[in-house]
Structure 1
């Protein structure tokens, strides 16, 4: 059963059409990757799903409800949370304050339970709990960004370029944690340039170019696809 279905989604910014008839589906407890180079519309897709950007056509069906253009605040309450590109944490706040903000829409009775879950996944955040977030390393900030999203108790977690700017060992750690988050029952949609890392954890993947989906299929099949290898993976770690 699908938790998310993006159907024929268009997004226009002024006279420029950014997304063209995009169709993406995420199954319950599934991991789906959307791959493509910079500027192809991956982040626009994520922001449209989160209702940060307005769709100009199409539907975004989350748990059977069309949520297109209902407002980003309402989307979070429904259980769709995003860890945005570029680790957009509140750098002048502490780790604790960032995590509290992530739980803003949740019942306070669940706070400690959710905090313990985040600490189990990211023990470094417990060690840094009272530290200013901006003083942490890039990898630690990415963990905080994901941890803050998890404090919203997402049914679907959106991860926008979680490997961006991180060292290879940190990237491996982040993607290992993505597997654990999925195993705990949270569906995940990842947009990434790091195709090999994303395909290693995804069930299904889509390739974007020019604001449209040009290829899709099971992740393991795409990882072996000669067309993908030649165009995106040949000798490189990024699409």
Structure 2
């Protein structure tokens, strides 16, 4: 054991310059390197939608809408020029959260600002367009029912029922609501994640110490093995 310590001490003394320089060089490299490489920036576009109310099982449900917006069929409708592999990537980057029973937040993140805005705008505008169409169809059905009932001649005994049905239909008509964008689309910018220069410098030093330690100890290990 004493001989091993002596040999290690001699090897350390013989290579002391490299043992000091390797951690120092790697530490400096770790500190300088991040300043020479531009951090990749990420852009996140966000929009808040108020869900409509016209008794549709999907477009009026904050539980179903996230599934709808991330479905292949909807994404192909919203982004018809995108390839299947690009749609799969968009699906991964798209986040749909239920903020309340009537509010949904949509967000999309990408490294290209223009693409970030265009993708989220296509998704939200397609949803609102489809929602408006469904809303108008439902409203038209209610309006026709009201017109038909108002033009219907009934007996004196049925007038009360007619007025009650008309009241219910008109009340339903008043409560119909299409979806809308509550907060306009906003884009925020964030620098790419990663270690700070100081942390990378410390990591470089630790790696250098490890290399130096291996340089001193490994030869002794092989010497003992043989």
Give the TM-score band, short-chain normalised: under 0.3
Report the structure, 1 or 2, having the larger helix content. Answer: 2
TM-score by length of 1: 0.21
- The higher radius of gyration belongs to 2
Higher relative contact order (CA 8 A, sep 6+): 2
TM-score by length of 2: 0.22
Report the structure, 1 or 2, having the larger strand content. Answer: 1
